[in-house]
Amino acid sequence: DSANSVYDNLRKGDKENDKLQDISTEEGAKRREESMLAGFEAADEKLANQIVAKKIENAVVQF
């Protein structure tokens, strides 16, 4: 009986561990996606700033 109780507890622990591992994997994927999107947004903003700077530079040269 004692051994069966230990095995039951181990199985319950394994199930809980699997559930937590799935949650961890999902959270990691969300964080990677958010990080990637933030990188794209930063690159877009940098490009937009470069375009504005070039337009200002061209306007000053023409003036």
Digitized pLDDT (tens) for each residue of the chain, 63 residues in all: 788 889 899 999 999 999 999 999 999 999 999 999 999 999 999 999 999 999 999 988 776
Which of 61, 58, 38, 39 has the alpha carbon at shortest distance from 50? 58
Question: Considering the entire predicted model, what is its pTM?
Answer: 0.53
Look up tokens 């994997």; give the residue.
Answer: 25
Helices (H) and strands (E) in the chain, counts: 1, 0
User: What is d(CA 62, CA 59) in angstroms, rounded to the nearest whole number?
Assistant: 5
- C-alpha distances (whole Å) from 3 to each of 7, 9, 13, 17 are 6, 10, 15, 21
CA neighbours within 13 Å on the CB side: how many for 51? 6
